[in-house]
Amino acid sequence: MTRYAYFEGKIVPMEEAKVSIAVHAFNYGTGCFEGIRAYWSEAEGRLLIFRPIEHYERLLRSARLLQMQLDLTAQQMTDITIELLRKEGFREDAYIRPLAYKASEGIGVRLHGLRDAFAMFCVPFGQYIAASDGARVCTSSWRRVDDNAVPARAKITGSYVNAALAKSEVLLNGFDEAIVLTHDGHVSEGSAENIFMVKGGKLVTPAATENILEGITRDAIMTIAKQELGIETVERAIDRSEIYGADEVFFVGTGVQLVPIIEIDRRPIGAGVMGRTTAKLRDLYFDVVRGLKPRYRGWCVPV
């Protein structure tokens, strides 16, 4: 159970971390956030935070896009995270949710001239998608937000209405997750995950120009695939129909971690089970995040 939060410059009991219904971010979605995982290491008896500096650097980029001035560095945010996790005392995997938001109260939609605030809470966290050994997914009728409308490269709170529309649509239709297309009809990502396919011995994933979030886990998977398996990644546009014929397909992200996709739009992918490359990458990824691969130990910040 979450007991504490970082709010208004200090760690306080969770029940004290409250905002008014008149706060700008609540009324207009003018905030941004990150999702960071901390993995419990039984061998070390402590949590390992996965790539927090990179996550906080991305949060600061999102904040700049929203004309926010945060008086904290990525390292200072990491230090706050460590302090908060120590206070919570979790002995299991945890999810960290830092938020930057427009904290002024009142009516009037804009970005400038408002007070900016930073807050954070943590929760114990397991699987994001229940079908972790093979997800059945569907292409959503909702298109991904466009860079010239609501930039997907920033984790803007208001833009996740787009993800929620897609996710609820497919869940209520009996699927595990959504694939969302760009306005040009190319594959963008899942509702809140990056997507890869295995084709011709390479990984293929939508380019940053396909209205994706440039994921930290996405980068980790590309690095691990190259360094551990000798597999190159091609970043390019992917047509909806092309992905049906892929050898393997999988989602990656902080929340989802790595989940194989075994069916898309009621069409089996490959043999309809998790593929060999996906299985190897998933095993490697979980070894990396739990600090079991010395080569990547720098990605894991101990609490």
> How far is residue 283's CA from residue 87's CA, in Å, rounded to a whole number?
31
Contacts of 164 (CB under 8 A, 6+ apart): 191
Q: Annotated catalytic, 155? A: yes
> How far is residue 240's CA from residue 17's CA, in Å, rounded to a whole number?
44
**Closest by Cα among 163, 183, 166 to 175:** 166
Q: Are strands 135-139 and 257-264 parallel, antiparallel or unpaired?
A: parallel
DSSP string of 99-135? EEEE--BSS---STT--EEEEEEEEE---SSS-TT-E
Sign of CA dihedral 127, 198, 220, 214: negative
> How far is residue 77's CA from residue 32's CA, in Å, rounded to a whole number?
14
Distance of CA 250 to the CA centre of its chain: 14
Q: Which residue is catalytic, options 102, 155, 167, 293? A: 155
> How far is residue 210's CA from residue 206's CA, in Å, rounded to a whole number?
6
Give the number of C-alpha atoms closer than 13 A to the C-alpha of residue 1, restricted to the C-beta side.
Answer: 4
Catalytically active residues are 155
